Amino acid sequence: MKVITFMIAVLALVIALVAFQRTGGIEDLRHQVETLASKTETVRDQIANMFDRSERLIRGNDKPAPPERSEATPPPQ
């Protein structure tokens, strides 16, 4: 009985491998991963922009950044 179970499992593995190769194999899988990664990056950028806009909306107008002091200018007194 164990031998028949093992043979069925091996046959299922072979069928799965053949189906994987017929649907595109590793190259298609890599292409899909690259496509998904680029779409994810785009969505991440859009969400970051939405958070920036909502922060500006909540806080009001943009406040100008303080000017950077260089070593040549003395600190204000």
CA–CA dist 70, 73 (Å, integer): 6
Q: Is 75 in contact with 69 (CB distance < 8 Å)?
A: yes
pTM above 0.75, yes or no: no
Tell me the C-alpha distance between 44 and 50, whole Å: 10
Angstrom distance (rounded) from CA 10 to CA 17: 11
pLDDT digits (tens, 9 = 90+) for 40-77: 999 999 999 999 999 888 888 655 555 666 555 555 66
Residue 25's identity, in one-letter code, is G
Token pair recorded at residue 28: 């298609």
Backbone φ and ψ for 11, nearest 5 degrees, come out as: -60, -40
Spans of all domains in the chain: 25-54
